[in-house]
Amino acid sequence: MQAKQLCDLPSEVLEYLCQHLERPSLQHFSVLSRCCYLAAKASLYRTIHLNRPLEDVAQWSQILARSSSLEHVRHLYIGAEPCQLDDTEDVWPLANTMSADDASWLPLANLIQNLSGLVQLTWIHGTTLPPCILAMLHAKRPPCRLHYRTFTLPGLLCPPNHLHLAPYELDVATSPSLHSVNLNYAEFYSNNQCVNYNQDALLDMVAGAAPNLREVYFKDVLYGFHSTLPSVLRTREWRSWRENPLSSSVPVSFCGALTCIVLDIRGEAGADMLKALHNRSDFRKLKILKLGYLVSTEAIWWMRDNCEFSSLHTLAIEPYERDSFEELEIATESFLQSLPPLSSLSITAYYSRHTLYSAFFRHGHTLKQLLLGRSRVPGGIWLDDRSILDDIRTHCPSLEELAFPLQRSLGDAEEVKFYRSLGAFRSLRQIHLSLDCSREWPAYCLFAAGSSPGPSRRYPQIWYNSEQSRQIREFLINAAMDKKLARTIFKVIATSKSASSLPLDQLSLGYRNPFPPVSARLAPVIQGLFSRIARSWKCTRNPRDDVPDHECFVEDCTKPQDWMPTWPREEDLSDAVKIAFRSIRPESPPPYRDFWTGWRSLPLDGVEMVE
């Protein structure tokens, strides 16, 4: 449709259309004509990001004033770009420094005052929320929700029995604007053994000190410690906390009303924190519960017997039991059966196929999002039996998003069949595949001299036998994922959809960490090779209506792995690795300094690669 024809449509239709466009499409639409710009303006400025607020505020004030768009801003982000709040790979910065001179933030406070339609402010800055910003939020009518993504009260990072909560910090903790809080928690700071009382403060805020707090996100950021968050509760330091002014501001008869809890805390601390939150909040109002830690059989039974999740629609859980999996299976199934029908379920760690089917019978008809991680028990989903996709399609007819672990098999006909079976889902629009390279790790062993093709010169203790050479070859083939292969997989799935099905909008391809425990570690050089060829991709359908549904944009989403070994060199490579590589790509250039210049993914069986 040409711009002139668009202008013939009623403005209400154009504005409605703009509300459903992605950001890039919306920007292109807005420059087609003046009428398109006027229709797109409200959507263009609905969400504003000030990555460098002190530097960007003047420019944005001019832009919004010049375009008469101050009234259109609904959500203002201060600090970094937003990311997934429950993404376990992301660590939000610890805002353990006080804000700069409050006067330097006054231009931002004035901008907030002029945003008459502002309803949400997300603070992701590395310093604490300035007093002038908090005061402006309190003065806004209608009220503006504050999402504090870097919540820390610096006065609560202190030596034991030296607790001091400043009046302004108390104002932040008891703010009626506070709607959600992210706490990157570290119980002790090893440099001076300070106690972190922020966890305790947040529990009081949930209990009523912050009357409108609805969402909490906990993340344990000291992975080197086996942190037990409630340990402060069990020690004499807790007595000094109970005497602080925040605890005294908790209403006696008040019960929290959290709607979202995300806990990414290692060890028993996660279960203890959930119990502490249960004592302070009415779980009948909880809608989202995501537990990013291994949940024991005992903890699952406790949730089933003590928590009433009558409003829950989203659950993420990682069942775990070291000794008796049978008891864990019974507890997990009983817990899932006790819940109301869910729209989103994420399950990983220790669960069986029977557990999954039990979940389908209870929740399958309402599930729109199913996120499955790899099962760690025999009989779990190892994808040997790929017919499970047929069962998911049968029991979850309304599924729109699916995450699934896939054991690659050299791109053979069975692997292609798996991709095509994904296209048989009528409503499925987003797919996330967690790829595995090999079930047989090419681990290094100590062999007698002369029993293998040859040692690595850099790692002379590493010898590979002929069987390991085969494993290495298969590992390299399965690990290689370039843009062409990602685009081809998207096309295979998209073209397998029927005319009555919804088109595939997005496909994510990412490799699961392939490295087994230290007792069977891969040779360092194999780790290095994997880090170079195992790319992660996001394929997004081209939304134009004049192109086929299988055309897509491909984005490299590989995260830098600083811990990976350096680039392989000739002297690092054993003969087995060289032989395996040459058997796959004999045409690659011989200088090993340019070892990966000619590397490409191998095509799928019987499928033409898409450029």
Task: With cut-offs at 50, 70 and 90, classify the pLDDT of residue 398.
Answer: very high
For residue 363, pLDDT over 90 is answered with yes
Contact 151, 198 (CB under 8 A): yes
Question: Residues 262-293: pLDDT tens digits?
Answer: 998 877 788 889 999 999 999 999 999 999 88
- In this predicted structure, what is the pLDDT of residue 504? 96
For residue 596, pLDDT over 60 is answered with no
- In this predicted structure, what is the pLDDT of residue 158? 77
For residue 413, pLDDT over 90 is answered with yes
Q: Please give the C-alpha separations between residue 569 and each of 156, 468, 480, 565, 578, in angstroms, as whole numbers.
A: 50, 20, 19, 11, 11
Question: Residues 111-165: pLDDT tens digits?
Answer: 999 999 999 999 998 888 999 999 999 998 888 999 999 898 888 877 777 777 8
- In this predicted structure, what is the pLDDT of residue 248? 67
For residue 590, pLDDT over 60 is answered with no
Tokens of 219: 């993340």
For residue 425, pLDDT over 90 is answered with yes
Question: Residues 212-237: pLDDT tens digits?
Answer: 999 999 887 654 443 444 444 434 44
Mean pLDDT lowest among 304-308, 455-459, 467-471 = 455-459
Of the ranges 188-202, 457-471, 594-608, the best mean pLDDT one: 594-608
Task: With cut-offs at 50, 70 and 90, classify the pLDDT of residue 459.
Answer: very low
For residue 188, pLDDT over 60 is answered with no
- In this predicted structure, what is the pLDDT of residue 382? 52
- In this predicted structure, what is the pLDDT of residue 541? 93
Beta-bridge partner residues of 534:
481
Task: With cut-offs at 50, 70 and 90, classify the pLDDT of residue 565.
Answer: very low
Q: What is the 3-state secondary structure (H, E, C) of 10-78?
A: CHHHHHHHHCCCCHHHHHHHHCCCHHHHHHHHHHHCCEEEECCHHHHHHHHHHHHHHCCCHHHCCEEEE
Task: With cut-offs at 50, 70 and 90, classify the pLDDT of residue 513.
Answer: low
Q: Specify the 3-state DSSP secondary structure of 373.
A: strand
- In this predicted structure, what is the pLDDT of residue 441? 47
Contact 161, 196 (CB under 8 A): no
Beta-bridge partner residues of 148:
123, 181
Question: How many residues belong to the chain?
Answer: 611
- In this predicted structure, what is the pLDDT of residue 189? 52
- In this predicted structure, what is the pLDDT of residue 448? 29
Q: Is the peptide bond before 142 cis (omega within 30 degrees of 0)?
A: yes
Dihedral in degrees, nearest 10, Cα atoms 222, 228, 233, 235: -90
Question: Across residues 531-540, what is the average pLDDT?
Answer: 85
Q: Which helix (H) or strand (E) holds 290?
A: strand 288-295
- In this predicted structure, what is the pLDDT of residue 520? 38
- In this predicted structure, what is the pLDDT of residue 58? 94
How much is the pTM? 0.86
Question: Residues 63-72: pLDDT tens digits?
Answer: 999 999 999 9
Tokens of 158: 């202190």
Question: Residues 481-499: pLDDT tens digits?
Answer: 889 999 999 999 999 999 9
For residue 386, pLDDT over 80 is answered with no
> Comparing C-alpha atoms, which of 148, 160, 274 is closest to residue 212?
148
For residue 352, pLDDT over 50 is answered with yes
Q: Which helix (H) or strand (E) holds 329?
A: helix 325-338
Q: Specify the 3-state DSSP secondary structure of 196.
A: strand
Kindly report the average pLDDT of the chain as a whole number.
Answer: 80
So where are the chain's domains? Answer: 430-611
> Comparing C-alpha atoms, which of 300, 303, 307 is closest to residue 325?
300
- In this predicted structure, what is the pLDDT of residue 300? 95
Which segments within 80-137 are labelled E, that is strand? 120-124
